[in-house]
Amino acid sequence: MREHLSADASGHDMHHVWRVFRLAQRFADELDADSEVVGCAALVHDLHRVLGDGTGCDPEETLSVIEEMLEGTGIGDERTGAVQHCVAVHDDLEFRDEDPEPETIEAKILRDADNLDAMGAVGVARTFAFGGVHGTPLWDPDGEDYSQIYHFEDKLLRLQNELHTDPAQQLAEERHAFLETFFERFLAEWHGEA
């Protein structure tokens, strides 16, 4: 994974992977989930961002690569299948008509941990890193172009209501409040009001 993600500057590098890993392990402990499944899933979850032509593909398309990666680890077929399910349903992708729901506690944990890394101070930093890499403007006050600030309204500020587990919801409260503070402050400064 280190090789796959080494060129990333969009906030989906190995540091993101380890942050998701740490949160996911914490939730797995609290919820008595399978920490090996959760840990492996956290490590490989963002492969879909770099496979294919490098612009991202459906996580479903990464499952066979994940199977190969896990083959030599001794984790076994059952847990490999569980990891694949976590990865397949962890993201909310625009090109899919309907997003698959996480069916296991491990899949819910991965999805929550990944979403929490898009909230709070780290979430703010990652939004602008991602926007910089993709050439998205900071903000378009006329609302005509997709902007990084629009991404707050479109996605980040909704994440709090889309979490599946209690420990993630508890952490999300402060992270969500920080996002709102940043968002309001940004707009006030933009208009010369603060």
Binding interface with Ni ion (CB under 5 A): 46, 114
Task: Tell me the CA distances in angstroms from 123 to 16, 40, 115, 129, 155, one per residue in order.
Answer: 10, 23, 9, 10, 11
First to last CA, the chain: 43
Write down the least CB distance from residue 190 to Ni ion, Å.
Answer: 29
Cα–Cα dist 13/4, whole Å: 9
Q: Which is nearer to Ni ion, 77 or 99 (CB)?
A: 99
Q: Which is nearer to Ni ion, 5 or 75 (CB)?
A: 5
Report H helices in 77-141.
77-88, 105-116, 120-134
Q: Which is nearer to Ni ion, 24 or 139 (CB)?
A: 24
For the beta carbon of residue 165, count every other beta carbon within 10 angstroms: 20
Write down the least CB distance from residue 46 to Ni ion, Å.
Answer: 4
Write down the least CB distance from residue 45 to Ni ion, Å.
Answer: 5
Per-residue burial over 31-40, b = 16 or more CB atoms within 10 Å of its CB, e = otherwise? bebbbbbbbb
Q: Which is nearer to Ni ion, 16 or 139 (CB)?
A: 16
**Residue 106: which of 130, 132, 124, 80 has the closest Cα?**
80
Write down the least CB distance from residue 189 to Ni ion, Å.
Answer: 29
Cα–Cα dist 140/153, whole Å: 13
Q: Which is nearer to Ni ion, 1 or 187 (CB)?
A: 1
Write down the least CB distance from residue 53 to Ni ion, Å.
Answer: 19
